[in-house]
Amino acid sequence: MPELSSIANINIVNPMSIASEDMTYIDWQTIAKAVANAFNKGARGIVITHGTDTMHYSSAVLSFMLQKLPGPVVLTGAQRSGDRGSSDAFMNLVCSGIIAAKSDIAEVGICMHASSSDDYCNFIRGTKARKMHTSRRDAFRPINNKPIARVSEKGNIEYLSDYTKSTGESLELRTGYEPKVALVKFYPNSDPAIIDYYVEKGYKGIIIEGTGLGHVAIAPREAAYSWLDHVKKAVDSGLVVGVTSQCLYGRVNSSVYRNLRLLAEAGAIHCEDMLPEVALVKLGFLLGNYKKSEAEQMLNKNLVGEISKRTEADWFMV
Any contact of residue 3 with another protein (CB under 8 A)?
A: no
CB of residue 103 vs another protein: minimum separation in angstroms?
23
Site string for another protein, 99-138 (x = CB under 8 A): ----------------xxxxx--------------xxxx-
Cβ closest to another protein, residue 86 vs residue 297: 86
CA atoms of 294 and 199, how far apart (whole Å): 20
Any contact of residue 90 with another protein (CB under 8 A)?
A: yes
Any contact of residue 168 with another protein (CB under 8 A)?
A: no
CB of residue 170 vs another protein: minimum separation in angstroms?
40
Any contact of residue 24 with another protein (CB under 8 A)?
A: no
CA distances (Å), origin 48, targets 3, 55, 62, 74, 307: 18, 10, 11, 6, 24
Any contact of residue 14 with another protein (CB under 8 A)?
A: no
Any contact of residue 156 with another protein (CB under 8 A)?
A: no
CB of residue 291 vs another protein: minimum separation in angstroms?
47
Cβ closest to another protein, residue 11 vs residue 117: 117
Neighbouring CB atoms inside 10 A of 104's CB total: 13
Any contact of residue 84 with another protein (CB under 8 A)?
A: yes
Any contact of residue 80 with another protein (CB under 8 A)?
A: yes
Number of residues that bind another protein (CB under 8 A): 20
Cβ closest to another protein, residue 40 vs residue 115: 115
Any contact of residue 155 with another protein (CB under 8 A)?
A: no
Cβ closest to another protein, residue 85 vs residue 202: 85
CA atoms of 166 and 116, how far apart (whole Å): 32
CB of residue 79 vs another protein: minimum separation in angstroms?
8
Any contact of residue 255 with another protein (CB under 8 A)?
A: no
Q: Which stretch binds another protein (CB under 8 A): 82-90, 165-173, 199-207, 240-248?
A: 82-90
Closest CA to 77 of 60, 92, 95, 87: 92
Any contact of residue 230 with another protein (CB under 8 A)?
A: no
Q: Which stretch binds another protein (CB under 8 A): 76-84, 252-260, 277-285, 308-316?
A: 76-84
Cβ closest to another protein, residue 86 vs residue 167: 86
Question: What is the DSSP annotation of the chain?
Answer: -THHHHH------------GGG--HHHHHHHHHHHHHHHHTT-S-EEEE--STTHHHHHHHHHHHEES-SS-EEEE--SS-TTSTT-THHHHHHHHHHHHHH--B-SEEEEEESSSSSSEEEEEETTTEEE--SS-TT-EEESSS--SEEEETTS-EEE-S---B--SPPPEE-------EEEEE--TT--THHHHHHHHTT-SEEEEEEBTTTB--SS-SSGGG--HHHHHHHHHTT-EEEEEETT-SS---SSSSHHHHHHHHTT-EE-TT--HHHHHHHHHHHHHHS-HHHHHHHHTS-SSSSS-SS--TT-S--
Any contact of residue 238 with another protein (CB under 8 A)?
A: no
Task: State which of residues 32, 36, 69, 91 lies at the interface with another protein (CB under 8 A).
Answer: 91
Any contact of residue 85 with another protein (CB under 8 A)?
A: yes
> Which residues contact another protein by CB under 8 A?
79-87, 90-91, 115-119, 134-137
